[in-house]
Structure 1
């Protein structure tokens, strides 16, 4: 019989026994929990800006409503989310943080309540914060993502005082300080602890918003501990809301609340009756559950053995062997994932995947390294099989799983699960019925379905996805391998960026990094990266520019030199654009559906993105603005990178040129 089932049944009986003990002998903690909570100190608690306000019906208010809708819609499946809405100067940034013990439904309810309360408590305020019972919510007209703010902390204490405040203060301070260090390096920036204190137990919790660094999280919690110890050390419980973190301690288990009763519980007869009820009800139920579970386990074990035997006859490489190597790899790369995350990102059984794909038959192949698979509920998903024969395969697998677990956007492909079986590593993605972009773009017959409006939609979707990776997600991510085969198309031809195996995170205020190991695809790699190993967000901008020109022309950049018209598509586009013959680049299939002015504008934007010097390339935020604002004046692009790559010193600028960085809020730092 599975050990986890025995454990869960035992834990359930212990829970009932523990609850009964508390019922039979009330303690100071139980009295506090039932009778002494101060309703005046209950949330919501707010911080409102008194200096900046918006007017009713303004663009800022409309953007704020859109922000509320976006945050609420994400709160059922992730406990932390930040995003922005609108354009400067009316752009509004916001985030919510549900406490890590809260389930998806309660998180969504709390965020919805917070959006209502924050408007009531801080009417017309351009910057506000509200702390609720299960979450906290914040918005501002300034970008605060990843920035520590410990001003205006809100401490709250219970009115019931502790009998020995100095002793209690020392214990609480030690508990919270240890939790702060633990949370700072926890993947969820969350930690709890139970600490005995005389006849009771202190239950403590700390949590930071996960857009902070480890040092920022620790600093925020240390300031919170200092504030709470100053004001509230004499109370049996307290909590503190901060813009960037949260802490709380009580004499009862508030993060895994046990049931309590208000009945008369004095006397041994009451205890005896309760124990009799428990024995007469729980024991038969447990026996039935054990019996059903045992029968189910036998059936599944028999079915699993049968499946393994079938697969074993197809080749020795597909034998399901749970060796030490597999266990170590899982522990090394996925430690820190809690039970809730396991539910959100399920682990697929290798034998089941192998059987469902007919032993990874080519008849199920969708593209390079991807196969179709039908799950038990009839849903079709895509299986990506990574190389298991090299260290690069293991590194790519780990990077892709850990990265994509933390980013969610409608223009990024969604990861549904993963599988590790000895040297085999599989990723389970949502199924994209129209395959990858190159499948349609570079085939004359299939390209007919890509009319001008669809191509514009694909370009804009890719741009929004990259902008999210570069600026709007809680991590600053450089994809490093953007190309048509890594852009998937859903049923409505909407684009989703995929394949994060080469992606890298840029920490803190860094804007570029250097590597001795060049990875990616030639033809889409920025010159400074291909020649010198330098990569930044501008490297992705270059790849996007190549991709944009390929989409609107239907011509592949790789191998273009064979046409003998120019060394590359970029060189040819640059030549025609300078000669005023840009329309000659038009895909003949677009004759009846395109706008000539819009076509030339998109060539112009593409050439801005592929400029040889990364300094002059726009950021993706600027690119998105250019794509949306048809009336925006575009600067003249500098020479594209179609010969030798270089990366000039940023102090050397051309006084006669117009820098595109004037449109952006960030850029590559000088080196």
Structure 2
């Protein structure tokens, strides 16, 4: 094998190296590491799960009686009907009188192959007919499908106003199954699973009407594994019913969780599973936290296992080369250092070529094309000590240029397609913008696989770092918060009206508001932004992006965005600044599932002072200002986009306390709340549970909330 260094080639064999054990031992250790790794565990876990229940309380049948004949017809028809439906779901009623057979078939939400769905259901029928021979009620759970048939009408749809969705029917067992691996930190892991399920529950209930399904990934930190989840309801349930069904499962998770790294709870009408590896196909539709730079789909697991085995061999060979190279360099009396190239110039050819290829031009002489080596030196070779955090498509580093200028370098993860579109978009948009309340893009670097954006450095980080922290929050008194609110409003007004092109930000949130040394706010992260024509009132997209909790309902549900969708996000942000509370889907405020409903209630009852993070003190001026900001925020988050003010009107409302304000209408999904019931448990038999401690009361509004893919980052 040949190992190439910077200036010479080194050719050797294992015998010549004289370090056979150096090769064998690392290979053996790596093999052991692989066998104990999550990937190997995932491969072992690929063995299909199945469970079944035979409920003899509903009576028996014979193959020759009327029920047996009807069941035979159901067996022939239901798998074909389910696999032919876009939702891969079907229910059927066959026969009359006491011999009627009711059936339900559902395939997992990530399945796209109708044949796989049909095959799973055919196999489920075959096994149930043998395992539960002569029993009139049977349920079969498989990794890929759920099947139930019964002589009782379990298909009767619960009324929307029913306090309990009997998702885990009395005649059908609810199963819990846990992996053998224990979580590293059990209490912390449970809280992560709880958050994961909360986000998936809302997304699956409202954003996928055809399949009532959500898959998700929660990226935690290097000490804890990424948690993957899947939640699904039968499409026959309404969004509110589905959400209440999920809430029932959530309570069971809290009661039955025993510290394992993976598990599932299965009911006929809804189910949930989570693991420390990706067990479903495709990309997660919900992402929480910061994704690794190179996420891998579970549909490539087998290939990855093979590739990993080959990589171990290659790695061992490379290890030999590295050891010999290090030995040679040490003998040479020094180590290879990062070459320090001359400072950047206007002729950074590789960057210029890439920009021309993307049809992007430098907007002004203030936009600089940087060399990779210059930014590497400025950030101390992108050291961990200089890392400020991780953005939407890669880490962000603090750097110091040769002239002493401090910068923030946003580095696109190498060879990552995710974020490349946003990278191009941000250069096209923000390089043309100049405003004191917008973060300043100083330049960029595009050199082979490396793509970086260089911004002005803002030492006070982002707004969420202050307002959601109990220790730092008090340092932002109302005067400073009012200054931040007005600055954000001015920046958004510039984007909507005064810039050379009208721009819709589409991802306005607390973590995207950066603060300079004087706590002046600057809107950042324009990767999701879109240019809007001067004669356009709204546009539509099939790629709904943004962050749950900040998206306007018409954008989340139909992909319709406009200046009014940014206004909605500003209203949410304004309420968060005033209250110091997050408008998050997994946090409850009283009996409300989000901050908007709680704020509306406090406003209508004249108890707005209970909402604010800081009391106004003796003077009435601060109190009046707080009250006005809350009212402006509620005007911005009204359900109907036409009812919301423009940013021109918002800045006028905030800047003139004497101007009377109209009364706001209630925010979307005001009726979506949490209520409590006593826990109930019946004695229908082992494994048969009907429990619900809390559930959501669905709104009767025709405008149903929909949640898009969650993408965190700065």
TM-score between the two structures when normalised by the length of structure 2: 0.44
Question: Which structure: greater helix fraction?
Answer: 1
Normalised by the size of structure 1, how large is the TM-score? 0.46
**Bigger relative contact order (CA 8 A; separation at least 6):** 2
